[in-house]
């Protein structure tokens, strides 16, 4: 009874929001968005594009125009990983003994597959400013590779210390680049390297560098989160 | 100033003598009522002087000081009392409230010495006296309020003069309900039969006078006589239009005292809370109605 | 049309949290909510004639692009969703360690 | 040339010094407090009488002071009571848990009082008002009960909150916080609204009928030397606010034809009379002497309210005179009880008796205090009551008159009760060792005795000062008074003459007494007990349920008000629990529902 | 020394601190001290990030208003971390992120960036409350916090779709041009609820009872004063500049806030646990602050935030320390706490009296002034309700105080570290002196300019 009542109530809320959105004139109908009166128009303007130098405008926004957001967002991931580690900080950990025991083929096949996944993720990270994708998807692929290894081999423990160091270094480098921007150029996270020609690999100034750092950082953080979830207190 | 004081003392003495003799006469009347002769008319003088000559006991300095203060207070009240419109000790200072509150000083003195005597029954007697006072005082004051409001002055001589002027008649007629309440509260003040639990002779064991004897009791008798004189003459001035000369005053005084005495002889005796319940039921209601009629509607007969 | 579906998904997420007492179910409905929200964000920038905002070269002007900003925002929103869910699961796991059950109702001490 | 601001700073400074001195040794600390209060009182009296206290402000720029006769009248009374009570500190302070903070808070509250009556800015009035409240609130629990302090604070806070809302309503209408201009500036319905709010504040501080629960609790349980201050001085703050409301604002509501008095005034007079009757009845029933005196100051608060709401010159003068007379009388009575409590350790009438033999001077002080309290001639109480009676009769308010007369006669009953129970009657064995109060404590008792008599016999100087106040604040005609007489609508009262004649009467009675034979001294136990010999003096002491027949009549109804406020507090707790269930429940669904409700409400409303 | 360092340096320190776990707490002290110094040196006005002119990139806004907020937040974090350094050493990194998050919240001039920082500080708050060892309450806080921020994001996106820009200053100009308030109700409601959850306004704060009810000397003050004041400042900025409610929305918001004050005071009156009393009083203060902002009384709301933050830190720390030693925070079991530690007693009393708003203390001056401003705005009914709530507040605080001062039965042994006493004494003295000596309060009055001025003069 409560479920039905709740469902009706919340669906009513949804309908109400939809109705409210409908009769607000300045809210553009779905699909008929003209970019002219939006700030996005400036992003697509030719000389701006060439000034930032990144073909993929979304990456230009994510790391270029709104780089500060991304810094904040990376911190979010950093603090979640830190939090998860903080909650499960045991003296001695050991792998969670799952009921599923992997066989020989799976254990070694997965190592091969991990190599391929690593290459794909590196490609995606480095070509962030040209093709769709970038630091975050690349990082996610690294982490899923690590997850694959965990699942495939129930004794496998990734090098947590290494990931921590990588995470710290990548993060600090990201901020240091920002500070360099402040020192060399006028403002924090400003592009102080020539942005080159749009479409080339070595274009868009500091954006690819930052994206690589982000990729590494995201990969290591999610990997350490995976490790935390798959380990438990060593009942000595 | 000295002359006024002497006149005042004279009035007080006259009051004492008047009341004691009328008291004696009334004893004879009541005796006659009960088919006996009753004692000599000066019997009360004899009692008082006999007591004064006796050697009583004293329970400490407060026991004596209380009696002295009580008698002093009553004498002071009596000195203020006007006998007729022109025989009064202090011309325009005979304010109505002085009588009500100086009486209270007398009552306080007696209460102090009674409690000071150490006998619990004396304290119980004092409690009864005070409770009865609470009972009869309020309706009486309400009627007095009406009288003062109507006669536009609170000094007794002015109230007498108001009643004696041509147009208006005595307040007992002008304010009938007020008069009735006045009589009832007078009986309460005098401690006459229905409300006399606190000084009733039968209840001597628990009356305030239980520990007294000798000169203290004598002085308290004097006190009783003078306070009766004050209360009755107060009633006379307020309700019976006072007196233009001394004889009218004596006649009125005698009639009032004997009438009240006769009424009291046929009544039983209330318990203390019955007294309070009675006074706060009918007399207060009548007094309020009388005041309402007199002040708001202006119907003064 | 997708916009309405996104809002309904958002509201469904809210409904999910409202009725469930199991911590994991709550986190799942929280994710549904966030997915609905992300779809809504994307739908803001959509244009029927628009193409993806990747420029093949500097010269091609006159093409209509889809609004790139919501896509950038959704990127961040998704990652934030991941962060919160990860932490939520961590807390759910510590609750499980302490009370041996995921259901909020039968935690014995009333809070 | 005393400056008010320096006085305040001096007081705050001496408060802090007294804190440290009392830490060293409570005797020195208290002596210092005495000198501090004495200095303040003397400088106030010397310069204040003819209004040439310097009100320039240098150190505290945002305060502004102005002198008024009305303000000075209150300040001088309260400062005097503070001085008298400070003599008691050396003997009482050691027994209190936080004794060093006692002097500090005592002097701070005095500073608050001086500030409150000298300021002409509403917010500063509120500032000093609140300061007095919280400093005294911390003094009360040093006595016996915490609950008293909580109820005291609760009611005073309600009062001061009502005052603040009133101040803001005035500010909204008049635009300025100046007291005189503000009160004059409002009219019509706002003046009625402000009148009601100010009256709530006055009733709360005076402890009159509807808001009186804290009075017996606070006075009964406050530390012994603090009760006189509480009842003599702090209650008068309410009277000051009452004057502001009744005299200054004086809303023009519908007028009751017969007694041509505005309805607002009549309601306040009715409340005053209710509190007289209620106070008297509760006092007659009370067993603890201090609680009894607390109920008496409640009924005297009622008198003050009736006086100020009768709106005629004599009533206003009577009210002010009554404030003075009651302050002295209740301070004297409370100090006597404090002296007895110090010697015997209890104020319950059951456990006391026969103190007169060991503490005659305290007895005398108490006697004179209760004579004035009961309004019996030679003392000040009689003149103020007489003036109030004149006004009540002149206006012809019958119901109020019933209550006023009942109060005056009833006060005679309940003031006599502690006299009989504490001082007179049998002398208890356990109090044999009791000695009279030390000399330092007797000085204030003598002074107050003298003042009680002085206010009763020579009204001239007081009436003249009151005429200044009347002239300053109201349009009534000043009261005509020569050295001994006071004239009102219905005749003149020669207070001096009454005292003289009373003296003559006593002299005559004394002569009669001396002439007769000396009576034999008999000790108290040897009394006429109709042959059943009682050897234990406790049994011979009649003090419990003194007015039994009277008390039986209203036994049941006497707890109504207390039950009402307990129920109120309970209701609020219920609402609290409901709110906690509604808003703070453990499952998140409730919060979601609230979010949903608010969104639907807002969008739905806007869309429609 | 641009203001962006206030965010960048703590982040850098946080990333570095996970490498050397041990020194994280000292790194925190260094960073907070640097921040406080930097606040004084930072240049006012709009600071661009990433080199792009405002509507494109993200920009920060620094004015006196945000400077006060930064100062308060950083100083409080420094004090609380210093006092808890022995009890909770491991929280260095998290505190660094808290500092970064809150500074970001206060400084940012971009709506989406605000959402990101809201999320950072939210997650950091979940971790701080994890120290209460009560995972259920933290879980509940996480879920409600996540819902709140998603609502905020939804409102934000609707605003973007309507006006096309995310920069707050531009957004205000666009809204001014559009001036059709009818449309703005939906986004503003969603954003108000989102902020309301975090700022503990009444209908949305069911998580507060769990979190602060079981708080300890570290998480209690952090949530009750640091987060409360940061959210107070942020809520103020949104209400005064972006929302400026009108019409039906204004009345409903006013009703919510006033009901919030009155009901939370009544709830405090009905609760027996000392921490519950304190948390309901801080909920009441939060609604009061929001009410002041809605009525446009900015300067006194700022002072109220500061005073409330200071006194709540002191009160929560004292009560939590006592609770830890005594084991239960029932008022009965804490009876007579101050009997043998007098200094702490006096400090606690001064703090409580300041919260209640009694004379000689800063609370009183603030209360009187904002009531005068309310009277100017003609809100007599709001004043009446606030004052009635303050009566109820006065009674339950006095009951608490008197119970704590006067022992019944056995004396409880609670000792406070000297550093506790020293820091609290300074705070109490500040409350006392500013109560009596009001000149500096008025001086600051005219220097606080809102985003509006910045918007007008570019």
Domain-embedded: residue D482: yes
Q: Cα E387 to chain center, whole Å?
A: 22
Domain-embedded: residue E286: yes
Domain-embedded: residue E21: no
Helix (H, G, I), strand (E, B) or coil at E4: coil
Q: How many domains does chain E have?
A: 1
Q: Distance, in angstroms, between A136 CA and closest chain E CA?
A: 16
Tens of pLDDT, residues D408-444: 888 888 888 888 888 887 888 888 888 888 888 888 9
What confidence score (pLDDT) does residue C111 get? Answer: 47
| Greater pLDDT, D269 or A35 | D269
What confidence score (pLDDT) does residue E456 get? Answer: 47
Sign of torsion, CA B285 B288 B291 B297? negative
Quote the domain boundaries for residue B170.
2-297
Nearest by CB to residue B130, choosing from D399, D413, D513, is D413
Tens of pLDDT, residues B211-264: 888 888 888 889 889 989 999 999 998 888 878 888 889 999 999 999 998 888
What confidence score (pLDDT) does residue D145 get? Answer: 82
CA R_g for chain B = 19
Q: Structure tokens of E420?
A: 């506790």
Domain-embedded: residue D547: no
Residues D377 and D484 both lie in one domain: yes
Q: Per-residue pLDDT averaged across D213-226, rounded? A: 88
What confidence score (pLDDT) does residue E142 get? Answer: 92
Class of domain C2-49+66-99: mainly alpha
* B 64-93: CB under 8 A from D: 64, 67-77, 79-80, 90, 92-93
- How confident is the prediction for chain B on average, in pLDDT? 86
Q: Structure tokens of D450?
A: 């003298």
Q: Quote the CA–CA distance of E354 and E370 in Å, as a whole number.
A: 15
Q: Which chains touch C (3 or more CB pairs under 8 A)?
A: A, D, E
Question: How many residues comprise chain B?
Answer: 301
Chain E residues whose C-beta sits inside 8 Å of any chain C C-beta: 112, 116, 119, 123, 126-127, 130, 134-139, 142-143, 146-147, 150, 153-154, 157, 160-161, 166, 210, 213-214
Helix (H, G, I), strand (E, B) or coil at C47: strand
Helix (H, G, I), strand (E, B) or coil at E215: coil
- The pLDDT of residue A227 is above 50: yes
Percent of chain D with pLDDT over 70: 99
Residue E391 Cα distances to A208, E285, E351, E365, E395, angstroms: 62, 14, 17, 17, 6
Question: DSSP states of A162-197 as a string?
Answer: HHHHHHHHHHHHHHHHHHHHHHHSSSTT---S----
Chain E residue numbers with beta carbons less than 8 Å from the beta carbon of C91 are 126, 130, 135, 138-139, 142
Chains A vs D: touching, with 3+ CB pairs under 8 Å?
Answer: yes
Please state which of the ranges B144-148, B266-270, D459-463 shows the lowest mean pLDDT: B266-270
- The pLDDT of residue D555 is above 90: no
Q: Distance, in angstroms, between E280 CA and closest chain A CA?
A: 29
User: Please, where are the H alpha helices in chain B?
Assistant: 2-33, 43-53, 61-80, 96-116, 120-151, 156-164, 171-174, 176-190, 214-239, 246-265, 272-291
Domain-embedded: residue D497: yes
Cβ of D607 under 8 Å from any chain A Cβ? Answer: yes
Tens of pLDDT, residues E376-421: 887 888 889 999 999 999 999 999 998 888 888 777 777 778 888 8
What confidence score (pLDDT) does residue E444 get? Answer: 59
Tens of pLDDT, residues E273-312: 889 999 999 999 999 999 998 888 888 888 899 889 999 9
Q: Distance, in angstroms, between D573 CA and closest chain A CA?
A: 30
Q: How many domains does chain B have?
A: 1
Nearest by CB to residue C54, choosing from A33, A56, A80, is A56
- How confident is the prediction for chain A on average, in pLDDT? 84
Q: Structure tokens of E301?
A: 């709301």
Nearest by CB to residue A31, choosing from C12, C47, C94, is C47
What confidence score (pLDDT) does residue C86 get? Answer: 92
Residues D113 and D146 both lie in one domain: no
Tens of pLDDT, residues E156-175: 998 888 888 888 888 888 88
Q: Per-residue pLDDT averaged across D389-413, rounded? A: 88
D552-586 exposure pattern, b = at least 16 Cβ within 10 A, e = fewer: eeeeeeeeebeeebeeeeeeeeeebeebbeebbeb
Chain-chain contact of C53 with A131 (C-beta, under 8 angstroms) = no
- How confident is the prediction for chain D on average, in pLDDT? 86
Domain-embedded: residue E235: yes
Q: How many CA atoms lie within 13 A of E137 on its CB side?
A: 25
Nearest by CB to residue E161, choosing from A27, A69, A75, is A27
Tens of pLDDT, residues D266-293: 888 999 999 999 999 889 888 888 899 9
Tens of pLDDT, residues D11-59: 889 999 988 888 888 888 888 989 999 998 988 888 877 777 777 777 7
Tens of pLDDT, residues A157-196: 878 888 888 888 998 999 898 888 888 888 888 888 877 7
Chain-chain contact of D592 with C14 (C-beta, under 8 angstroms) = yes
Chain D residue numbers with beta carbons less than 8 Å from the beta carbon of A13 are 596, 599-600
Residue with tokens 């060593």, as numbered in its chain: A234
Chain-chain contact of B154 with D390 (C-beta, under 8 angstroms) = yes
Question: Would you call D532 exposed, middle or buried from its count of C-beta atoms within 10 A (0-12, 13-18, 19+)?
Answer: exposed
Sign of torsion, CA D249 D253 D255 D256? negative
- The pLDDT of residue A203 is above 80: no
Residues D64 and D147 both lie in one domain: no
What confidence score (pLDDT) does residue A116 get? Answer: 92
Quote the domain boundaries for residue E183.
136-456
Please state which of the ranges D170-174, D326-330, D537-541, E143-147 shows the lowest mean pLDDT: D537-541
Residues D100 and D147 both lie in one domain: no
- The pLDDT of residue D607 is above 80: no
Give, as one character, the DSSP assignment of residue D477: P
Chain B residue numbers with beta carbons less than 8 Å from the beta carbon of D371 are 105, 108
What confidence score (pLDDT) does residue B205 get? Answer: 67
What confidence score (pLDDT) does residue E66 get? Answer: 86
Preferred mutation among E4, E16, E51 to probe A, highest tally of A CBs within 10 A:
E51
Chain-chain contact of D607 with A9 (C-beta, under 8 angstroms) = no
What confidence score (pLDDT) does residue E458 get? Answer: 42
| Residue in D with minimal Cα distance to C109 | D586
Tens of pLDDT, residues B2-43: 888 898 899 999 999 999 999 999 989 988 888 988 888 888
Which of the four pLDDT bands, split at 50, 70 and 90, describes residue D516?
Answer: confident
Quote the domain boundaries for residue D157.
121-502
Cβ of B115 under 8 Å from any chain D Cβ? Answer: yes
Under 8 Å CB-to-CB from E6, ≥6 apart: which residues? E35, E38, E39, E42, E70, E103, E107
Chain-chain contact of C19 with D589 (C-beta, under 8 angstroms) = yes
Domain-embedded: residue D593: yes
Domain-embedded: residue E240: yes
- The pLDDT of residue E442 is above 80: no
DSSP E strand boundaries for D325-418: none
Tens of pLDDT, residues D87-109: 888 888 888 888 888 889 999 99
Residues D575 and D428 both lie in one domain: no
Domain-embedded: residue E267: yes
Q: Quote the CA–CA distance of D377 and A13 in Å, as a whole number.
A: 80
Preferred mutation among A40, A52, A59, A187 to probe E, highest tally of E CBs within 10 A:
A187
Residue E248 Cα distances to A20, D602, E254, angstroms: 16, 8, 10
What confidence score (pLDDT) does residue E406 get? Answer: 85
Tens of pLDDT, residues D475-496: 888 888 888 888 888 888 888 8
Chain A residue numbers with beta carbons less than 8 Å from the beta carbon of E49 are 67-68, 187-189
Chain-chain contact of A10 with D596 (C-beta, under 8 angstroms) = yes
Domain-embedded: residue D524: no
What confidence score (pLDDT) does residue E203 get? Answer: 83
Chains C vs E: touching, with 3+ CB pairs under 8 Å?
Answer: yes
Q: Structure tokens of B50?
A: 């006999």
| Residue in A with minimal Cα distance to E16 | A168
- The pLDDT of residue A101 is above 80: no
What confidence score (pLDDT) does residue E144 get? Answer: 92
Residues D104 and D126 both lie in one domain: no
- The pLDDT of residue E116 is above 90: yes
Residues D104 and D127 both lie in one domain: no
Q: Could you say which residues of chain C have pLDDT below 50?
A: 110-111
Nearest by CB to residue A13, choosing from D596, D606, D607, is D596
In this structure, the strands spanning D485-488 and D491-494 are antiparallel
Tens of pLDDT, residues E330-365: 888 888 888 888 888 888 998 998 898 888 788 888
Residues D26 and D168 both lie in one domain: no
Q: Quote the CA–CA distance of D544 and D260 in Å, as a whole number.
A: 46
Domain-embedded: residue D64: yes
Q: Structure tokens of D591?
A: 């919060």
Chain E residue numbers with beta carbons less than 8 Å from the beta carbon of A26 are 162-163, 178, 180, 183
Cβ of C109 under 8 Å from any chain D Cβ? Answer: no
Preferred mutation among C11, C91, C95 to probe E, highest tally of E CBs within 10 A:
C91
Domain-embedded: residue D533: no
Nearest by CB to residue E135, choosing from C26, C34, C95, is C95
Chain-chain contact of E142 with C23 (C-beta, under 8 angstroms) = no
Question: Would you call C16 exposed, middle or buried from its count of C-beta atoms within 10 A (0-12, 13-18, 19+)?
Answer: buried
């Amino acid at each position: 009874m409560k479920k039905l009542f709740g469902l009706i109530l919340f669906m009513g809320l949804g309908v109400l929001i939809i109705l409210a959105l409908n009769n607000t004139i300045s809210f553009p109908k779905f699909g008929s968005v003209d970019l002219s009166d939006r700030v996005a128009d400036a992003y697509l303007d030719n000389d701006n594009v060439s000034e930032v130098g990144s073909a993929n405008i979304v990456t230009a926004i994510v790391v270029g125009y709104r780089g500060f957001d991304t810094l904040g967002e990376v911190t979010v991931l950093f603090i979640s990983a830190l939090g998860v580690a903080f909650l499960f900080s045991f003296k001695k950990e050991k792998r969670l003994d799952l009921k599923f025991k992997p066989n020989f083929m799976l254990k070694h096949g997965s190592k091969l597959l991990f190599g391929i996944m690593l290459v794909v993720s590196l490609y995606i990270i480095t070509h962030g400013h040209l093709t769709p994708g970038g630091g975050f998807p690349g990082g996610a692929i690294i982490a899923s590779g690590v997850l694959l290894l965990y699942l495939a081999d129930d004794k496998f423990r990734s090098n947590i210390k290494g990931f921590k160091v990588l995470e710290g270094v990548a993060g600090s480098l990201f901020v240091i680049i920002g500070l360099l921007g402040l020192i060399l150029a006028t403002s924090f996270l400003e592009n102080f390297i020539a942005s080159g020609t749009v479409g080339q690999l070595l274009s868009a100034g500091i954006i690819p560098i930052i994206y690589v750092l982000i990729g590494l950082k995201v990969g290591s953080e999610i990997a350490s989160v995976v490790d935390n979830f798959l380990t438990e207190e060593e009942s000595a | 100033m000295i002359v006024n004081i002497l006149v005042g003392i004279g009035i007080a003495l006259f009051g004492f003598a008047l009341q004691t003799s009328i008291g004696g006469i009334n004893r004879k009347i009541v005796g006659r009522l009960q088919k006996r002769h009753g004692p000599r008319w000066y019997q009360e003088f004899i009692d008082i002087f006999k007591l004064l000559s006796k050697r009583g006991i004293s329970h400490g300095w407060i026991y004596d000081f209380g009696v002295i203060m009580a008698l002093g207070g009553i004498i002071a009240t009596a000195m203020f009392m006007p006998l007729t419109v022109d025989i009064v000790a202090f011309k325009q200072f005979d304010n109505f409230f002085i009588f009500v509150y100086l009486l209270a000083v007398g009552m306080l003195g007696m209460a102090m010495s009674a409690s000071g005597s150490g006998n619990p029954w004396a304290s119980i007697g004092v409690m009864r006296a005070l409770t009865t006072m609470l009972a009869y005082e309020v309706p009486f004051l309400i009627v007095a309020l009406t009288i003062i409001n109507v006669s536009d002055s609170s000094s007794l001589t002015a109230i007498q003069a108001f009643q004696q002027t041509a147009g208006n008649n005595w307040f007992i007629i002008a304010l009938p309900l007020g008069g009735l309440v006045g009589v009832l509260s007078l009986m309460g003040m005098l401690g006459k039969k229905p409300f006399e639990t606190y000084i009733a002779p039968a209840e001597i064991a628990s009356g305030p006078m239980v520990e007294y004897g000798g000169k203290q009791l004598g002085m308290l008798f004097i006190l009783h006589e003078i306070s009766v004189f004050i209360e009755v003459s107060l009633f006379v001035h307020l309700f019976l239009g006072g007196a233009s000369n001394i004889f009218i005053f004596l006649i009125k005084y005698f009639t009032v005292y004997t009438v009240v005495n006769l009424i009291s002889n046929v009544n039983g005796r209330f318990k203390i809370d019955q007294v309070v319940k009675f006074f706060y039921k009918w007399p207060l209601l009548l007094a309020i109605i009388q005041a309402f009629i007199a002040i708001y509607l202006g119907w003064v007969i | 049309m997708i916009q309405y579906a996104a809002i309904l998904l958002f509201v469904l997420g809210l409904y999910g949290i409202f009725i469930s007492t199991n911590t994991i179910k709550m986190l799942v409905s929280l994710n549904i909510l966030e997915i609905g929200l992300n779809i809504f964000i994307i739908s803001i920038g959509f244009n029927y004639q628009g193409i993806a905002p990747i420029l093949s070269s500097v010269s091609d002007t006159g093409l209509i692009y889809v609004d790139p900003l919501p896509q950038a925002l959704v990127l961040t929103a998704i990652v934030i969703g991941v962060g919160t869910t990860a932490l939520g699961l961590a807390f759910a796991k510590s609750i499980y360690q302490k009370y041996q059950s995921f259901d909020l109702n039968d935690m014995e001490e009333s809070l | 040339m005393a400056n008010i601001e320096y006085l305040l700073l001096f007081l705050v400074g001496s408060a802090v010094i007294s804190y440290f001195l009392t830490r060293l040794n409570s005797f020195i600390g208290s002596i210092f407090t005495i000198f501090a209060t004495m200095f303040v009182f003397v400088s106030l009296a010397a310069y204040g009488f003819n209004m040439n206290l310097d009100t320039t402000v240098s150190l505290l720029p945002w305060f502004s002071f102005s002198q008024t006769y009305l303000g000075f009248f209150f300040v001088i009374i309260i400062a005097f009571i503070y001085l008298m009570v400070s003599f008691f500190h050396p003997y009482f302070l050691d027994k209190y848990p936080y004794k060093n903070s006692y002097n500090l808070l005592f002097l701070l509250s005095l500073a608050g009082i001086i500030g409150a009556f000298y300021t002409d800015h509403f917010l500063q009035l509120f500032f000093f008002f609140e300061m007095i409240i919280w400093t005294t609130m911390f003094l009360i629990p040093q006595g016996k009960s915490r609950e008293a302090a909580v109820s005291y604070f609760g009611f005073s806070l309600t009062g001061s909150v009502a005052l603040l809302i009133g101040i803001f309503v005035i500010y909204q209408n008049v635009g300025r916080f100046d007291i005189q201009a503000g009160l004059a500036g409002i009219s019509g319905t706002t003046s009625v609204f402000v009148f009601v709010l100010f009256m709530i504040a006055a009733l709360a501080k005076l402890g009159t009928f509807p808001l009186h629960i804290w009075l017996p609790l606070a006075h009964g349980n406050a530390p012994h030397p603090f009760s006189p201050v509480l009842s003599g001085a702090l209650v008068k703050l309410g009277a000051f606010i009452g004057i502001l409301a009744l005299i200054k604002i004086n809303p023009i509501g519908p007028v009751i034809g017969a007694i041509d008095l505005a309805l607002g005034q009549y309601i306040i007079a009715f409340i005053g009379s209710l509190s007289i009757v209620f106070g008297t009845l509760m006092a007659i029933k009370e067993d603890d002497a201090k609680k009894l005196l607390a109920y008496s100051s409640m009924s005297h608060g009622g008198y003050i309210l009736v006086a100020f709401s009768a709106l005629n010159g004599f009533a206003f003068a009577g009210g002010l005179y009554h404030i003075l007379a009651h302050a002295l009388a209740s301070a004297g009575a409370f100090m006597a009880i404090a002296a007895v409590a110090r010697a015997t350790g209890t104020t319950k009438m059951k456990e006391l008796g026969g103190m007169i033999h060991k503490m005659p001077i305290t007895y005398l002080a108490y006697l004179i205090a209760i004579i004035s309290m009961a309004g019996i001639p030679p003392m000040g109480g009689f003149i103020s009551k007489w003036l109030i009676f004149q006004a009540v009769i002149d206006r012809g308010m019958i119901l109020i008159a019933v209550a006023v007369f009942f109060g005056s006669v009833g006060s005679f009953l309940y003031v006599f009760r502690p006299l009989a129970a504490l001082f007179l009657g049998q002398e208890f064995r356990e109090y044999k060792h009791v000695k009279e109060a030390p000399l330092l404590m007797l000085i204030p008792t003598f002074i107050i005795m003298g003042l009680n008599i002085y206010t009763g016999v020579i009204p001239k100087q007081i009436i003249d000062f009151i005429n200044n106040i009347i002239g300053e604040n109201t349009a009534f005609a000043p009261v005509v008074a020569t050295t001994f007489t006071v004239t009102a609508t219905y005749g003149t009262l020669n207070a001096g003459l009454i005292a003289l004649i009373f003296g003559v009467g006593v002299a005559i009675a004394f002569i009669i007494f001396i002439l007769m034979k000396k009576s034999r001294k008999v000790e108290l136990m040897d009394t006429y007990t109709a042959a059943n010999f009682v050897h234990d003096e406790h049994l011979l002491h009649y003090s419990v349920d003194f007015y039994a027949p009277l008390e039986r009549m209203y036994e049941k109804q006497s707890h109504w008000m207390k039950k009402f406020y307990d129920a109120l507090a309970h209701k609020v707790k219920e609402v609290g629990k409901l709110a906690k269930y509604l808003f703070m429940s453990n499952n998140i669904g409730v919060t979601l529902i609230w979010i949903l409700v608010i969104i639907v409400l807002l969008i739905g409303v806007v869309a429609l | 020394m641009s203001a962006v360092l206030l965010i960048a340096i703590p982040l850098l320190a946080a990333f570095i601190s996970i490498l050397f776990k041990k020194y994280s707490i000292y790194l925190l002290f260094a960073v907070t001290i640097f921040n406080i110094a930097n606040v004084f040196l930072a240049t006012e006005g709009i600071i661009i990030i990433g080199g792009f002119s405002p509507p494109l990139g993200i920009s920060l806004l620094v004015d006196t208003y945000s400077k006060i907020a930064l100062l308060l937040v950083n100083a409080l974090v420094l004090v609380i971390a210093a006092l808890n350094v022995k009890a909770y050493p491991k929280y260095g990194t998290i505190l660094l992120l808290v500092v970064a998050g809150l500074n970001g919240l206060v400084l940012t001039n971009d709506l989406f960036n605000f959402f990101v920082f809201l999320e950072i500080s939210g997650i950091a708050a979940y971790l701080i409350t994890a120290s209460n060892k009560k995972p259920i309450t933290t879980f509940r806080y996480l879920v409600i916090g996540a819902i709140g921020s998603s609502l905020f994001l939804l409102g934000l996106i609707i605003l973007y779709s309507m006006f096309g820009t995310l920069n707050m200053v531009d957004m205000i100009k666009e809204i001014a041009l559009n001036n059709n308030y009818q449309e703005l109700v939906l986004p503003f409601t969603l954003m108000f609820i989102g902020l309301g959850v975090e700022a503990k306004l009444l209908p949305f704060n069911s998580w507060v009872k769990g979190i602060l009810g079981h708080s300890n000397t570290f998480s209690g003050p952090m949530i009750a004063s640091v987060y409360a004041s940061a959210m107070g400042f942020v809520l103020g900025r949104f209400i005064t500049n972006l929302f400026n409610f009108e019409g039906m929305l204004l009345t409903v918001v006013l009703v919510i806030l006033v009901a919030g004050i009155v009901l939370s005071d009544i709830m405090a009156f009905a609760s027996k646990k000392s921490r519950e009393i304190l948390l309901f009083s801080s909920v009441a203060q939060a609604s009061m602050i929001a009410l002041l902002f809605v009525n446009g009384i900015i300067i006194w709301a700022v002072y109220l935030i500061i005073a409330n933050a200071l006194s709540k830190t002191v009160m929560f720390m004292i009560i939590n320390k006592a609770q830890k030693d005594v084991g239960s925070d029932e008022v009965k079991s804490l009876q007579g706490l101050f009997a043998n530690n007098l200094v702490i007693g006096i400090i606690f009393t001064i703090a409580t009296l300041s919260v209640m708003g009694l004379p000689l203390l800063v609370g009183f001056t603030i209360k009187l002034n904002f009531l005068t401003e309310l009277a100017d705005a003609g809100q007599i009914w709001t004043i009446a309700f606030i004052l009635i709530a303050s009566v109820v507040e006065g009674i339950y605080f006095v009951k608490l105080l008197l119970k704590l001062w006067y022992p019944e039965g056995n004396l409880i042994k609670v000792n406070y570290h000297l550093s506790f006493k020293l820091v609290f004494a300074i705070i109490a003295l500040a409350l006392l002196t500013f109560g009596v000596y009001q000149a500096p309060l008025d001086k600051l009055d005219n220097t606080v300019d809102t985003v509006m001025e910045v918007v007008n003069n570019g």
